Each structure stands twice: as structure tokens, then as C-alpha cells.
Amino acid sequence: GYYQAELAGMKNKDNFSNLDEFIAVDSRPKLRYENVTEGVKRDFPLQLNIFDALRIENDVIANLPLSRRREILENIVSQDPEEYVRLTKQFNVSNEKEMQELFLNAVSKGYEGLIAKDPNSLYLPGSVNDDWMKMKDWLTLDLAILGFYDTDKSINNGQLFSAMLVGSYNLETKKFETVSKISSPSFEDQKKIYSLVEFVNTDGDFNKVLEANDEIYFNPKMQKIGKKVPNRIVVNDPRIMPIVEVQCLNVTYSDNFHSCGNCYEEGMGHSLRIGSYKRLREDKLGIKDMNTTQDLHELYLGLK
């Protein structure tokens, strides 16, 4: 399996071949190597998946094309899925249909997606190009619009706002909770959104934010960074709070200024990884139609 863990080298050897040399540690503070028990090794088995190499012993192969580097690895690293050290799977794709089938299969098994690579590509440190491309699935959530942000640029460009503060509804506390700050949509959608909301101006003052709507829980960390404080807070009745569809890569475990559900462990809650606006849900309205904080927690745990 895969674990959120720390890879710890047990011994300094030129080569390695067994689990006695590497362990997975998932707790803080770090365990001293001599205190790692057989139980830890059993409970947190480590599997090292190798996808590329830049040097094999004293031979530098970074200047070779990817296909050649892969060929070299296939001759020295096992592809047996039961091995502790193994080579990652590679698929040669010739058309869009094959790529789509592989992607959907990966997503259905719980993976984020795929990485598509040009077999003739070279390894270029620090380079950004189209030789390697990440293909990831997006999670979509229906969240309430809780506030708006302005910037000098958005004001000068005549936009109604530069970004929105969106959130979930906590069924236990009976309050909205902030989840993410997302960029503004098109001007047409901005006008539609503005037609659905009532708001209070805060002048970027956190105390005014707290006073604006007692139906919303705001993370105190927000006040430490001025630009994170919304310029306007939505004060609609919870039953008619406007809803937007937000896409993100996943739900994260976080303690940032807009994380929700800050009661799970040590004041941490959940936020969104790369959240962005997708569309206004004109067919949905209020707490009955939106995702809850409990939904996000289950998504984080992989229960949904």
C-alpha cells in the first residue's frame, strides 16, 4: 500500500535489496533507527516504486532519451508487483482512445491520474515544457458564497470582485465554514452572482467580518494576513444562500486561514487543493443543496 510517510535510509550502502535498509515512518517525532521495531515494519510495509534514473552507479544516463533510460532500468529492476523494490508500470499509447481508457481506469482505482511522457524526451532540470504532462481528475463540490475580495487591479478593470470566499455547512455546529478562496468568474457570471446576494462591507477589517454574519465561522488565522480578509461578507438567509460549483484536485488536511471543521485534531480542518470556480448553480440554493463539512471530511478519508 501507499502511506503518508517518511522514507528513512537505514544503512549507507552502494546498493540495496531488502527492507532492512529502508523503512517507512509515519509519526513525529522521528524514530531513531535503532528503535524501529519489527512491528513498525509489519504495520507500515514499504514499497519503493522506481520510474526513472539519472545515474546508474558511476554511469550518468541523464543525457539519454527516456525510452533508453527505461530500457536500462528494465534490465536491472524487477517489475514484479510483489517485490519491495520494483519498476513502475509503463503503457505505450498510440491514440486518444487508449489514453482515455487508461486515465478512467486509473481514476476508478482511486489514483489522481496519469503522467504522459514523450518517450524521446530528455531530462532537463528546472525546465517546463510539454514533454511530461500530468493528467489529473477533478473533484467537484457545491459550496456557498460567503464573501468577496477586491484588488486594485480588479477595481481598475471594472470587475465586481477579484475573488470569492466559499464554504461548506457544518451540520454539528449549524454554521457555515470557510473552505477556499477562489478566483472570480467571467463578468457575466459576476453580475448573476451579485444579483443573488446581500452583503455587508467590511473594509478589510476582521472585526467587521466577525460582526457581519454570525451564521459563518471564520478562522482566527485570517486576521493575521490582511489580504485574506474579505472586503464584503454575504448575509443571505441560510435557506437562500447562493451556491457555486467548485472544482479541485482533492480535499486536504489543513490549518490555513480558510480551512473548515477546525476540530478534528489539534485545530486542523480541511481545505481544497487548487480550488477554482466552475459555474454558478442556478438550480441549487441554500444549505439543503450544498456540501457539508462532514462531506468534506468523508472525502478526505476516502469514504465517498
Q: What local confidence, expressed as pLDDT, does residue 3 receive?
A: 38
pLDDT on residue 128: 73
pLDDT at site 18: 52
- Would you state the pLDDT for residue 12? 46
Distance of alpha carbon 67 from the chain centroid: 30
Check residue 176 and give its pLDDT.
Answer: 95
Rg (CA), the chain: 24
Residue-wise pLDDT tens for the chain (304 aa)? 333 444 554 444 455 555 555 555 554 445 555 555 666 667 767 778 899 999 988 899 999 999 999 999 999 988 887 788 889 889 999 888 898 899 888 877 877 788 999 999 998 887 778 898 888 778 899 999 999 999 999 999 999 999 999 999 999 999 999 999 999 999 999 999 999 999 999 998 999 999 999 999 988 888 777 678 999 999 999 999 999 999 998 888 877 777 776 555 666 688 898 899 999 999 999 999 999 999 998 888 875 4
Q: What is the 3-state secondary structure (H, E, C) of 229-268?
A: CCCEEECCCHHHCEEEEEEECEEEEECCCCCEEEEEECCE
CB 70 within 8 A of CB 90: yes
A 10 A CB-CB count for 227 gives 9
Grid cell, residue 173, equals 455546529
| Alpha carbons 240 and 288: distance in angstroms, whole number | 9
Look at residue 264 in the predicted model and tell me its pLDDT: 58
CA atoms within 13 A on the CB side of 212: 27
Grid coordinates belonging to 98: 487508449
pLDDT at 4: 41
What domains appear along the chain, each with residue ranges and CATH number?
139-301 (2.40.50.140)
Q: What is the pLDDT of residues 10-36, one digit of tens each?
A: 444 455 555 555 555 554 445 555 555
Do 251 and 300 contact (CB within 8 A), yes or no? yes
Beta pairing class for 175-183 and 216-217: parallel
Question: So what's the pLDDT on residue 164?
Answer: 96
211 — phi, psi (to 5°)? Answer: -80, -20
Lookup result for grid cell 489580504: 227
